[in-house]
Amino acid sequence: MAQSIAHTAADDTPESSVDGEETPKLKRKEYEKELRKLQTELCSLQDWVKATGERIIVIFEGRDAVGKGGTIRALTERVSSRTFRLVALPAPSDREKSQIYMQRYLAHFPAAGEIVIFDRSWYNRAGVEHVMGFCTKDQHKRFLEMCPAFEKNIIVDNGIRLIKFWLEVSNKEQKRRFEARIDDRLRQWKLSNMDLPSRERWYDYSRARDKMLEATDTDFAPWYIVRSDDKKRARLNVLSHFLSLIPYEQPEHDKIKLPTRDKKGAYDDEATIKDRRWIKEKF
Over residues 30-63, the pLDDT tens digits come to: 999 999 999 999 999 999 999 999 999 999 999 9
| pLDDT tens, residue by residue, 134-150 | 999 999 999 999 999 99
- Residue 224, strand partner residues: 165
Instruction: Provide the pLDDT for residue 12.
Output: 41
Spatial contact of 54 and 154, defined as CB atoms under 8 Å apart: no
**Beta 161-168 vs 223-227: how paired, if at all?**
parallel
Cα–Cα distance for residue pair 227/168, rounded to 1 Å: 5
Cα–Cα distance for residue pair 216/137, rounded to 1 Å: 17
Q: How far is CA 14 from the centre of its chain?
A: 23
Q: How far is CA 140 from the centre of its chain?
A: 24
Quickly count: other Cβ atoms within 10 Å of residue 218's Cβ: 15
Instruction: Provide the pLDDT for residue 8.
Output: 39
Cα–Cα distance for residue pair 121/123, rounded to 1 Å: 5
| Angle 46-239-86 from CA coordinates, rounded to 5° | 60
Instruction: Provide the pLDDT for residue 165.
Output: 98
Q: What's the pTM?
A: 0.86
Spatial contact of 152 and 220, defined as CB atoms under 8 Å apart: yes
Spell out the CATH class of 54-245: alpha beta
Q: How far is CA 31 from CA 146, 206, 209, 253, in A?
A: 40, 30, 30, 29
Spatial contact of 271 and 70, defined as CB atoms under 8 Å apart: no
Cα–Cα distance for residue pair 77/117, rounded to 1 Å: 13
Question: 20: which DSSP letter?
Answer: T
Spatial contact of 161 and 54, defined as CB atoms under 8 Å apart: yes
Instruction: Provide the pLDDT for residue 21.
Output: 58
Cα–Cα distance for residue pair 73/235, rounded to 1 Å: 9
Question: 219: which DSSP letter?
Answer: S
Give pLDDT < 70 ranges for the chain: 1-23
